[in-house]
């Protein structure tokens, strides 16, 4: 690192036009692979191409080495380029989709996977990844729920910090680490109706308590960059919101890194309806605190004029450029512009055995077992298995973010993985539903073929689900059901009376009411990544037991969306299991989700004793007091196999100045117990777990009654109460 003086000196030599170029990120290449930006042909502007600060989506060691060499020769001050791309859940070795990683409830797994992703990306010349996505998501219609770790601020915070630590390690200048960009600040997950790019309305109470914590956690973990969301929040596009990017991000959260717009989001301020033209869009976003404009060129095109008219100050421009150059310096790029880029290391690291092994473990850990009637799972050694369905032998195991740099041909299918398991090698047959893309009723011939195969088998493994294109960016849906032809297939197979294990591939919570009715066992596989087939086979055959837990509630009907466990109580709660007139809910369906947040079965069962508290009343007047009391329960493995349980702690603040959520996850512990074994699981209750943000006042802990729930998911019923006196 060369330091502050070096950067100031460099800055003092740059012209305004060069500064504007430094604040611009160009596409690295056309979709057809032809090169742009530094290697010419994009803006048709030699000066911008030669002096741009960064490239988007341009990677591969050989190409980066060449592009950086050219850039160092041609740019006015020999300032190295930053290469940024979307490394979302793996670079070449692809881990399960982020929602699946969230389902593992294991921040250390996320950290490890992010560190592998960073290593693979860095040797391909990548310096920055646009991850983690810290958006809180509650509406399964929104396609981008797949990129989030779910509906809970606490779990999301642990995960976003873990991603950041994994990418950045103990320093972004160190070998095999890259810088992390947390996104999309803020409220993108709350877009109306789950429609992508739509607007969000969130009051400060929910903004600070629910949406902000995962961003704060990433910032506190040292995240170097942040991206504002495409959406408007309370009428102002995030890209142009000084309140968000200055008052909340810098003043409140103390973020000091680089703010980069989302792709063309600066230009989009015009269609958003807050600017007349791109010059105004540039002025507004720079004024709000955006340092880098991604892909569009309004900064570059208009900055000189904006400085002349005083719409943008030189101090704002210098601040932005200084932050960008400081990031480059922290990465050591002024000393070595190529950092880790190395074709030889790509050979060594990409998809190496160790990385594949971790991806396999992550795929297994991300699976959530929702139903297991008559112990349909694990599959037994002597069983003949009919493996049927569109995902039975499919390599479509990557979501669209996995496909940025990962390849389907590197994926191991479920069929191939079954073949490697002695347990299944015998009876396993494949039947593939043609044309996953088409949502049309199954044709009778295909069903007949499936039935024929099912007839010769003892059990059916049915691999069905959404197509990967049906989620992620621009993947919003009005319908959370599976395609009708898949349901028809399931029903036809059900008529054989053979046990059916349904494995559901999905990028979001789906309505599984019919799937559950016609299946013996139901497993959620998300999009499981390169080693997905093996990870799933490991769980189905009992090589590993399922341990995943839902990071989002699964609804009973699409019309329930958004549905989430930590909602506010209503004046008319429905505490029964059916529709009640004049109580909260919908006509004709049971209240609540089909499967709650935190839910997931394994191959054994656990019982919980009553919750016990070390005291019933505490006095707390300052946030510094570390432990107020202990809450515990005794968990017993009542089944016949060793198993892992995720013991979850939820707290409810019974009455506050603001209506408080019905419960909030505040901790969890994973324990492994042998058959018949019991263990006391204790949680220390700290003031931080009880406090919340009160608008106009700040972080507070209010006197009154609190309820502590300890159980296996967000609808567990065991609780005890205690009183807090004092408060702050
Ligand atoms: C648009 C997406 O919203 C964002 O998440 C992504 O990082 C950028 N494009 C760059 O690809």
> How many Cα atoms occupy the beta-carbon half-sphere of 171 within 13 Å?
8
Give the separation between CA 475 and CA 314, rounded to whole angstroms. 41
- Does ligand 1 have an atom closer than 6 angstroms to the CB of 86? yes
458: burial class by Cβ within 10 Å (0-12, 13-18, 19+)? middle
First to last CA, the chain: 43
Catalytic member of 139, 152, 262, 653: 262
For the beta carbon of residue 366, count every other beta carbon within 10 angstroms.
34
Residue 619 forms beta bridges with which residues?
A: 725
Cα of 136 from ligand 1 centre, angstroms: 17
Residues 6+ away with beta carbon under 8 Å from 510: 140, 466, 480, 481, 482, 504, 554
**Structure-block tokens of residue 477:** 């849906």
3-class DSSP string for 571-626 = CCCCCCCCCCCCCCCCCCCCCCCCECCCCCECCCCEEECCCEECCCEEEECCCCCC
Structure confidence at residue 441 (pLDDT): 42
- Token pair belonging to 417: 């993985």
Strand partners, 650: 665, 709
Which tokens sit at 141? 């219609």
- Kindly state if the Cβ of 128 falls inside 6 Å of ligand 1: no
Distance from the alpha carbon of residue 324 to the mean position of ligand 1, in angstroms? 19
- Write the burial class of residue 605 (CB in 10 Å: 0-12 exposed, 13-18 middle, 19+ buried): middle
Structure tokens at 98: 């982020």
Q: How far is CA 161 from the centre of its chain?
A: 12
Secondary structure in 3-state letters for 201-242: CCCHHHHHHHHCHHHHHHHHCCCCEEEECCCEECCEEHHHCH
What distance in Å separates the CA atoms of residue 635 and residue 434, rounded to the nearest whole number?
Answer: 47
Helix (H, G, I), strand (E, B) or coil at 268: helix
CA distances from 430 to 190, 414, 506 (A): 41, 10, 21
Q: Minimal CA–CA distance to 363: which of 233, 544, 168?
A: 544
Ramachandran region of residue 103, left (φ > 0), alpha (ψ -120 to 50) or beta?
A: alpha
262 lines ligand 1 (CB under 6 A): yes
Give the per-residue pLDDT at 453. Answer: 87
Q: What's the CA-to-centroid distance between 187 and ligand 1, angstroms?
A: 15
Angle subtended by helix axes 314-330 and 298-309, to nearest 10: 140
pLDDT digits (tens, 9 = 90+) for 53-89: 999 999 999 999 999 998 999 899 999 999 999 999 9
Of 505, 495, 435, give the one whose Cα is nearest residue 470: 505
Please answer whether residues 361 and 509 qualify as being in contact, where contact means their C-beta atoms are separated by less than 8 angstroms: no
DSSP 362-395: HHHHH-EEEEEGGG--SPPTT--EEEESTTTT--
Closest CA to 414 of 463, 369, 379: 463
Task: Compute, in angstroms, the gap from residue 133 CA to the centroid of ligand 1.
Answer: 10
pLDDT score, position 485: 84
Q: Which pLDDT does position 44 carry in this prediction?
A: 57
Nearest to 364 by CA among 520, 545, 521: 545
| 48 Cα: distance to centroid of ligand 1 (angstroms) | 22
- If you take atom 7 of ligand 1, which residue's CA is the nearest one? 130
Q: How far is the CA of 682 from the centre of ligand 1 (A)?
A: 41
What single-letter DSSP state applies at residue 529? -
Tokens 């008219």, located at residue:
309
Q: Is there a contact between 190 and 200 (Cβ–Cβ < 8 Å)?
A: yes
Q: 25 C-alpha to center of ligand 1: Å? A: 13
Q: Which residues pair with 678 in a beta bridge?
A: 636
Which residue among 181, 473, 474 is best mutated to probe the pocket of ligand 1, counting the most ligand atoms within 8 A of its Cβ?
473
DSSP 8-state symbol, 247:
I
Q: Is 263 in the pocket of ligand 1 (CB under 6 A)?
A: yes
> Which of 26, 89, 262 for a ligand 1 pocket mutation test, highest count of atoms within 8 Å of Cβ?
262
Ligand 1 close to Cβ of residue 527 (< 6 A): no
Structure tokens at 549: 């837990």
CB distance 719 to ligand 1 below 6 Å: no
Say yes or no: CB of residue 183 within 6 Å of ligand 1. Answer: yes
pLDDT of residue 421: 76
Say if ligand 1 is within 6 A of residue 210 CB. Answer: no
Q: Is the pTM of this model over 0.75?
A: yes
d(CA 174, CA 197): 36
Tell me how far the alpha carbon of residue 271 lies from the centroid of ligand 1, in angstroms. 19
Residues 663/647, Cβ–Cβ less than 8 Å: no
**Contact between 226 and 290 (Cβ < 8 Å):** no
Residue nearest atom 9 of ligand 1, based on CA coordinates: 263
Convert the pLDDT of each residue in 311-350 to its tens digit: 999 999 999 999 999 999 999 999 999 999 999 999 999 9
Within 10 angstroms of residue 703's Cβ, the number of other Cβ atoms is: 15
Nearest ligand 1 atom to alpha carbon 404:
11
Mutate to test the pocket of ligand 1, among 147, 184, 226, 227 (most ligand atoms within 8 A of CB): 227
CA distances from 431 to 332, 390, 392, 441, 721 (A): 53, 8, 7, 17, 55
Angstrom distance (rounded) from CA 490 to CA 516: 10
Atom 4 of ligand 1: nearest residue by CA position: 262
- The answer to whether the beta carbons of residues 149 and 159 sit under 8 Å apart is yes
For residue 142, is it left (φ>0), alpha (ψ between -120 and 50) or beta?
beta
- Distance (Å, whole) CA 660 – CA 7: 48
Mean pLDDT by 10 residues, the chain (728 residues): 97 98 87 51 71 94 93 94 97 98 98 98 98 98 98 98 98 98 98 97 98 98 98 98 98 98 95 96 98 94 97 98 98 98 98 98 98 96 87 93 96 92 51 44 73 90 93 94 90 96 98 98 98 97 97 98 98 95 95 98 98 97 87 98 98 98 98 98 96 96 98 97 97
CA of 189 to the centre of ligand 1 (A): 14
Q: What is the pLDDT of residue 34?
A: 55
481 lines ligand 1 (CB under 6 A): no
- Collapse the DSSP code of 62 into the 3-class scheme (helix H, G, I; strand E, B; otherwise coil) and give the result: helix
538 is an active site residue:
no
**Does residue 666 line the site of ligand 1, with CB under 6 A?**
no
Q: What angle do CA 490, 493, 498 make, to 5 degrees?
A: 125
Nearest CA to 3 out of 330, 271, 226, 299 is that of: 330
Residue 367 Cα distances to 370, 372, 379, 555, angstroms: 10, 13, 16, 18
Q: Whose CA is nearest to atom 1 of ligand 1?
A: 263
Atom number in ligand 1 closest to CA 181: 7
Residue 560 alpha carbon to ligand 1 centre in Å? 28
Q: Can you tell me which atom of ligand 1 is nearest the CA of 57?
A: 11
CA of 512 to the centre of ligand 1 (A): 30
Which atom of ligand 1 lies closest to the CA of 183?
A: 5
State the maximum Cα–Cα separation within the chain, in Å, rounded to a whole number: 80
Asked if the bond preceding 184 is cis, omega within 30° of 0, the reply is yes
In this structure, which residue's CA is closest to atom 10 in ligand 1?
Answer: 263
Which of 88, 95, 86, 60 lies closest to 356 in space, CA to CA? Answer: 95
Q: Give how far Cα 207 sits from Cα of 236, 360, 692, Å.
A: 15, 36, 11
Which residue from 29, 55, 59, 86 has its CB within 8 A of the most atoms of ligand 1, so it is best to mutate? 86
Residue 473 beta carbon below 6 angstroms from any ligand 1 atom: yes
| Ligand 1 atom 3 nearest Cα | 262
8-state DSSP, 183:
E
């Amino acid at each position: 690192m060369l330091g502050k003086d070096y950067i100031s000196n460099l800055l003092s030599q740059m012209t305004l036009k060069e500064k504007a170029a430094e604040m611009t990120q160009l596409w690295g290449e056309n979709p057809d692979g032809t090169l742009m930006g530094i290697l010419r042909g994009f803006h048709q502007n030699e000066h911008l191409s030669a002096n741009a600060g960064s490239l988007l989506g341009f990677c591969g060691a050989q190409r980066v080495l060449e592009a950086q060499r050219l850039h160092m020769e041609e740019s006015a001050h020999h300032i190295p380029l930053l290469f940024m791309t979307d490394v979302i859940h793996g670079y070449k070795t692809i881990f399960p989709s982020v929602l699946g990683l969230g389902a593992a409830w294991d921040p250390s797994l996320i950290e490890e996977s992010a560190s592998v992703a960073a290593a693979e990306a860095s040797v391909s010349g990548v310096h920055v990844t646009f991850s983690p996505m810290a958006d809180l998501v509650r509406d399964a219609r929104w396609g981008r729920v797949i990129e989030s770790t779910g509906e809970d601020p606490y779990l999301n915070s642990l995960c976003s910090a873990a991603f950041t630590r994994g990418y950045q390690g103990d320093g972004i200048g160190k070998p095999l680490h890259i810088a992390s960009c947390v996104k999309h600040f803020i409220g993108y997950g709350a877009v109306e109706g789950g429609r992508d790019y739509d607007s969000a309305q969130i009051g400060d109470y929910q903004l600070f308590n629910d949406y902000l914590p995962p961003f704060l956690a990433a910032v506190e973990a040292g995240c170097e960059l942040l991206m504002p969301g495409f959406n408007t929040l309370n009428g102002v596009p995030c890209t142009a919101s000084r309140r968000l990017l200055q008052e909340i991000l810098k003043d409140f959260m103390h973020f000091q890194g680089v703010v980069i717009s989302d792709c063309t989001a600066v230009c989009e301020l015009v269609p958003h309806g807050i600017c007349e033209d791109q010059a105004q869009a540039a002025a507004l976003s720079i004024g709000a605190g955006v340092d880098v404009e991604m892909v569009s060129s309004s900064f570059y095109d208009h900055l000189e004029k904006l400085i002349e008219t005083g719409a943008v100050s030189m101090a704002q421009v210098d601040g932005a450029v200084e932050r960008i150059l400081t990031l480059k310096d922290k990465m050591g790029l002024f000393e070595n512009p190529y950092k880790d880029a190395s074709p030889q290391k790509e050979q060594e690291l990409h998809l190496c055995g160790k990385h594949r092994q971790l991806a396999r473990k992550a795929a297994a850990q991300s699976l959530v077992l929702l139903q297991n009637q008559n112990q349909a799972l694990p599959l037994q050694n002597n069983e003949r298995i009919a493996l049927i369905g569109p995902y039975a032998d499919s390599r479509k195991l990557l979501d669209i973010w996995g496909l940025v740099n990962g390849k389907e041909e590197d994926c191991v299918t479920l069929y191939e993985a079954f073949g490697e398991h002695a347990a299944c090698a015998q009876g396993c047959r494949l039947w593939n539903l043609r044309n996953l893309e088409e949502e049309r009723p199954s044709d009778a011939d295909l069903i007949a073929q499936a039935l024929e195969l099912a007839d010769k088998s003892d059990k059916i493994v049915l691999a069905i689900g959404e197509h990967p294109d049906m989620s992620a960016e621009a993947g919003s849906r009005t319908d959370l059901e599976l395609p009708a032809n898949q349901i028809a297939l399931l029903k036809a197979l059900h008529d054989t009376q053979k046990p059916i294990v349904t494995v559901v591939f999905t990028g979001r919570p789906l309505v599984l009411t019919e799937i559950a009715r016609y299946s013996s066992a139901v497993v959620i596989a998300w999009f499981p990544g390169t080693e997905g087939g093996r990870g799933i086979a490991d769980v189905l055959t009992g090589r590993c037991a399922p341990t995943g837990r839902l990071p989002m509630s699964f609804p009973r009907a699409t019309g329930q969306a958004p549905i989430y466990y930590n909602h506010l109580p209503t004046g008319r709660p429905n505490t029964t299991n059916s529709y009640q007139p004049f109580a909260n809910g919908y006509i004709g369906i049971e209240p609540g989700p089909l499967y709650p947040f935190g839910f997931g079965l394994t191959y054994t069962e656990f019982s919980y004793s009553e919750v016990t508290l070390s005291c019933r009343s505490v006095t707390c007047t300052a946030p510094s007091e570390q432990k107020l009391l202990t809450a515990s329960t005794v968990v017993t493995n009542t089944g016949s196999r060793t198993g892992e349980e995720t013991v979850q702690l939820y707290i409810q603040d019974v009455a506050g100045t603001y209506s408080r959520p019905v419960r909030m996850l505040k901790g969890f512990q994973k324990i492994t117990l042998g058959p018949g074994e019991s263990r006391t699981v204790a949680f220390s209750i700290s003031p931080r777990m009880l406090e919340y943000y009160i608008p106009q006042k700040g972080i507070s802990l209010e006197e009154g009654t609190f309820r502590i729930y300890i159980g296996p998911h967000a609808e567990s019923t065991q609780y005890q109460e205690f009183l807090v006196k004092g408060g702050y």
